[in-house]
Structure 1
């Protein structure tokens, strides 16, 4: 039950990774830092006595700022996208330490958004928390679906597919990249704030290698459900985030320890990328789309007969 709960929270994070990795076709490593930035901001504000909801939203805002910095470095500074994300991620390590004042901030006696659920004894024991978290993540899913269906969202999709073509139609592709990176890391920052409250602590190292978690969620979910439509693709990444957590939970139960989880995540991503190309799994996309094929056109005997030389 706890694996499903945290998997749903990581579903919000996976939606942010989906926007950059799949829609914008941008390898954004900022998320390794912006997840912690959202958690650190929320923790610092909650410790200062601020409303937990406002503190969580502030975590999303600081995530948006981090994403915008990466976008500006890439578009205006002409720095390679991968390097721009790495530079922002490295800078955020020091900034996150400044925000928290130390390497971790536990939520001992502070009220958080998760506190009422924990005091009720529902955490990891009932389906109530799962339904609440599912409702929250579906709100963000619907927002992403709606946003990508707007004119701006369509321009962002076109930027990811063919930047030169859409620029010829007068679209400001630099602006589209900055906006997408901001929204993506805003979702990541929100997820970080919620995950820190769920875990009871905001830690400086909670974002290390977390990009692999997002990629595993996106790749696993879309390998199972596909990405034929936007609503299906966003649903797939949420399912993938929950599935990833269940796989990790199963690995811990059968004897693996916490130190093996990074290796398990890397192997999981590799398997999700390679297995669909081999054996029976290679036929899954064709099986899924078989019902959508158009019927073959009928040919008359005269048309089918070979022509004389």
Structure 2
């Protein structure tokens, strides 16, 4: 138990970073209603871009902007594949994700590239955990504030309308293709930004660091919705619940590991957690319907 308590700050730091990634997933999964699998590749793109940029003398802040831009470009490709070529959302995301594997390998030059805090100026690293927690928290809050403002604008409302009812949005003169592309660009930009922060936090960028990212992102989204859905009604608070979901996920994972679970089984546990939390709302609704029918019979 002592080792678990000591590991909590590190788990919170990692959860905050993945919370940013989960906010990106939330934009496509909940706001746009678009099943985007690009994120598994985009997270690694953000990490690879940041590390390579810093190795070439780029300032860490500029490197994060470049990582964000690289993610936006990946989202643009997925959006164009879907809107311009009529490829279904899932396949469009898979195609971009597949292409990103080779692109990320070219960016890094090899499968794994370290970025040491002793050699480079990093703003979010485990070697300075207190600073990393402050930086990650600041990023989460600023991102939520910007997104809250953006989705309150006319363009933001158009994206939300597209996700709510595409046919109705089209009938009201909204360019649904532009809305889809913009949402995918923002979403994947945030995921890549999280990848840049994660590469700093763990001290390296790896070609496979994004594998299974969509499942972790969904886990954070679902956990946040199940635990805070009835409390947090405001859009900004919903985004905050997603970030908190990321923290809860990593704290739970750390607790399970402290109990002696084989780390090779973490992906299996993640899938199980997502399945359970996805199923809870459905089971509750079925139970409520059955309860009502029983009352009517009586």
Question: What TM-score, normalized by structure 1, do the two folds share?
Answer: 0.86
Deviation, structure 1 residue 136? 1.8
| Structure 2, unaligned runs of 5 or more | 1-8, 289-298
CA contact (8 A) 1:275 1:281 kept: no
| Structure 1, unaligned runs of 5 or more | 284-309
CA contact (8 A) 2:101 2:207 kept: yes
In the aligned structure 1, how far is the partner of 2:60 from the partner of 2:123? 9
The Cα RMSD (Å) is 1.8
SS in 2 for 1:275: helix
Distance 1:96 1:216, change over 3 A: same
In the aligned structure 2, how far is the partner of 1:198 from the partner of 1:122? 9
Counterpart of 1:75 (choices 78, 83, 102) is 83
In the aligned structure 2, how far is the partner of 1:253 from the partner of 1:185? 33
Runs of 4+ in 1 over 3 A off after TM superposition: 276-283
Match of 2:120 in 1: 111
Match of 2:64 in 1: 56
- Higher Cα Rg: structure 1 or 2? 1
Counterpart of 1:16 (choices 13, 17, 24) is 24
Where do residues 127-146 of structure 1 align in structure 2 (5 Å cutoff)? 129-146=132-149
Distance 1:65 1:253, change over 3 A: same
In the aligned structure 1, how far is the partner of 2:119 from the partner of 2:168? 52
Q: Does 225-234 or 197-206 show the bigger shift?
A: 225-234
Distance 1:223 1:55, change over 3 A: same
Match of 2:12 in 1: 4
Question: What TM-score, normalized by structure 2, do the two folds share?
Answer: 0.89
Where do residues 154-165 of structure 1 align in structure 2 (5 Å cutoff)? 154-165=157-168
Number of corresponding residues: 277
Counterpart of 1:240 (choices 245, 254, 264) is 245
Distance 1:174 1:246, change over 3 A: same
SS in 1 for 2:34: coil
Deviation digits for residues 198-218 of structure 1 (CA, Å, limit 9, x no counterpart): 000000000111100000000
CA contact (8 A) 1:19 1:180 kept: yes
Find out whether 1:201 has 2:210 as its counterpart: no
CA contact (8 A) 1:38 1:60 kept: yes
Distance 1:163 1:279, change over 3 A: closer
Deviation, structure 1 residue 189? 0.5
